[in-house]
Amino acid sequence: MNDSKVIVALDFASDKAAMQLVEKLSPELCRLKVGKELFTRCGPVLVKEMVSSGFDVFLDLKFHDIPNTVAKACESAAELGVWMVNVHSMGGVAMMEAARSVLSHDDAPLLIAVTLLTSSGEKELKAMGIDQSPANFVKRLAKMTQQAGLNGVVCSAQEAAMLKQQCGNDFLLVTPGIRPENSCADDQNRIMTPRQAVDNGSDYLVIGRPVTQADDPVRVLQEINAQI
């Protein structure tokens, strides 16, 4: 059973590039995240290949649509054998409840919701007409998500302690914006090191470029796993 907290974000433009990395890794070291770009280019076949290789796959498509459409999309994701799927919490409680209703069987993937993207901060919220701090807005969305019966949320590691206190230890927190020490921030605004994130309450850490662009990604993963 995989107990790694690390989810490697496969932000590649082709299946060849993604699988070249995946073939170097092992399910004991990490889980995998397939997002919009890679899935749009390569589709379900690539996801099934990763699942058949023994990896837990997080299908990160952030479904956000009318409740019935999102429910059907979640059903399709479950048929791929993925470990976890997500929706966008700003789709509302009814949408999240519809997704939950089709993923309530024992072997269903975990269902989580995105709160506020780590590239967004107070400036971006104000531009959308939301006069709240990022922390308060995330708390509101996380509470909605929990009320809808989902397993957890995607959030910044900076909000993890706050959300654990609000939602309890069983509510999963998946945190992108994780950068090992001495890594650059890239396009993420709210970042934290792996050790800091776990200490703050993160259950799973999404790490992309520090692993995928490393000369020795296996060594980087081994070091991160050792640290946490």
Distance (Å) of CA 179 to CA 19, 94, 175, 182:
23, 35, 11, 8
In one letter, which amino acid is 11?
D
d(CA 155, CA 163): 9
Residue 147 corresponds to which tokens in the numbers above?
């009320």
Catalytic pick among 5, 62, 143, 164: 62
CA-based nearest residue to 138, from 157, 149, 128, 191: 157
Least Cα distance to 139 among 117, 113, 111, 166 occurs for: 166
- What are 63's strand-pairing partners? 87
Annotated catalytic residue 62: yes
Active site residues: 62
